[in-house]
Amino acid sequence: MKRKANHLLLDQAKISKKDEFYTQLVDIERELKHYSSHFSGKVIYCNCDDVETSNFFKYFATNFETLGIKKIICACYKKSSDGLGAYFEYTGGAVNYDDIKYFSSDGDFRSLESIKLLEQSDIVVTNPPFSLFREYISQLITYNKKFLVISNINAITYKEIFNLIQNNKAWLGINLGRGISGFIVPSHYELYGQETKINDQGERIVSPNNCMWLTNLSNFKRQEFIQLTKKYAGNENEYPNYDNCNGINVNKTKNIPADYDGLMGVPITFLHKFNPRQFEIIKFRKGDDGKDLRINGKSTYFRILIKNKLVKKNYSSSTVVCYEQQNLKFGS
Ligand SMILES: C[S@@+](CC[C@H](N)C(=O)[O-])C[C@H]1O[C@@H](n2cnc3c(N)ncnc32)[C@H](O)[C@@H]1O
């Protein structure tokens, strides 16, 4: 029992350590350049950000005029032992830290004071604490906010997040995995043998390679069609059937057959290429018996069950024809 409790403490410590990953300007620029058209006339809220150190604030303040932003609100949480949370409102010109205001409590994103600022905002952009990610996103949905946030790729497997993605209420951003180069960690951070380096500003960087952007702002990638070059007909043995679901297993997104009209189980990285005009997400991971998808008795890796919306079966000739797909210009 004691041993279990110790493990729990260690897990919690590891979780809160992940909350101390700070985002590099280079990674913010690499993603946010794809959303320039969204920020004009808008109030941007960075609600997990210290104005004096946040690269999200730096990015928006530096590009304030060019993007036509109306206002930036930047709010920072403080553990109660460290004092009060604080926030800063910026409407252009020189940044004066003397204008920082204090919350009456810790500045938790769930506090009434922070929610009041959320209500005044149009778009929330930040890297929130991963240990509170479910609650964080659920609040944004409750308040009907636009958002662009960093998350662990694992969050896709959370029921709440998967439901949003399935229902086209959230989708992946442009960069993920190695596309996010790494996070600034404090000097006291224990590295657990992770890959580290020092960046140009002398900051300590870890590159976990397991993060992504999650958003409900439109981006170009979501408009692109996956170019499907493989066929199911004639290659059936490359696509085994599941034991507990009427569908086939596809090991790589690029191997999705262009001519299959039924359920296909694809890796979760498919979501990075998902275009809702081409595919429909049916469900996650489980077969008809509610258990993990299996092939010949063996569970597969996490799979998302999808259907190609553009493949229609031509019953009269019993061949499969991609009517619309043939007329589509991929990538347009
Ligand atoms: C992953 S770090 C990212 C910091 C900053 N957004 C960035 O990208 O550099 C998450 C931040 O959320 C803060 N935080 C933790 N719990 C919070 C809460 N309940 N409400 C608001 N912020 C919180 C942490 O102090 C930490 O600074």
Instruction: Answer whether 127 contacts ligand 1 (Cβ < 6 A).
Output: yes
Q: Do 61 and 197 belong together in one domain?
A: yes
Confidence at residue 13, expressed as pLDDT on a 0 to 100 scale: 42
Do 91 and 230 belong together in one domain?
no
**Domain shared by 37 and 139, yes or no:** yes
Question: Does the structure show a pLDDT above 70 at 158?
Answer: yes
User: Sorting pLDDT into bands at 50, 70 and 90, what band is 319?
Assistant: very low
Final residue before a domain boundary, out of 192, 219, 246: 219
> What crossing angle do the helices spanning 159-166 and 133-142 adopt, rounded to 10°?
40
Percent of the chain clearing pLDDT 90 (strictly above)? 79
pLDDT tens digits along 63-76 = 999 999 999 999 99
In this predicted structure, the answer to whether residue 216 has a pLDDT above a threshold of 60 is yes
**283 pLDDT more than 80:** yes
> Which of residues 159, 191, 219 is at a domain's end?
219
Closest CA to 303 of 252, 239, 227, 243: 252
Residue 165 lies in a domain: yes
* 145 Cα to the center of ligand 1, angstroms: 19
Mean pLDDT of the chain: 89
149 lines ligand 1 (CB under 6 A): no
How many other CB atoms are found less than 10 A from the CB of residue 51?
A: 24
Position 19 in a domain = yes
The alpha carbon of residue 8 and the mean position of all alpha carbons in its chain are separated, in whole angstroms, by: 26
- Span 225-235, average pLDDT: 96
Q: Is residue 332 part of a domain?
A: no
Confidence of residue 212 (pLDDT cuts 50, 70, 90): very high
Domain boundary among 185, 219, 253: 219
Are 158 and 280 in a shared domain?
A: no
β pairing state of 146-152 and 123-126:
parallel
pLDDT greater at residue 11 or residue 297? 297
pLDDT surpasses 70 at 330:
no
Same domain, 18 and 129: yes
Domain shared by 201 and 266, yes or no = no
**Residue 89 falls within a domain, yes or no?**
yes
- Centre of ligand 1 to C-alpha 224, Å, is 33
Number of domains in the chain: 2
Q: What pLDDT digit, counting tens, does each position of 18-42 carry?
A: 678 999 999 999 999 999 999 999 9
What is the domain extent for residue 68? 2-219
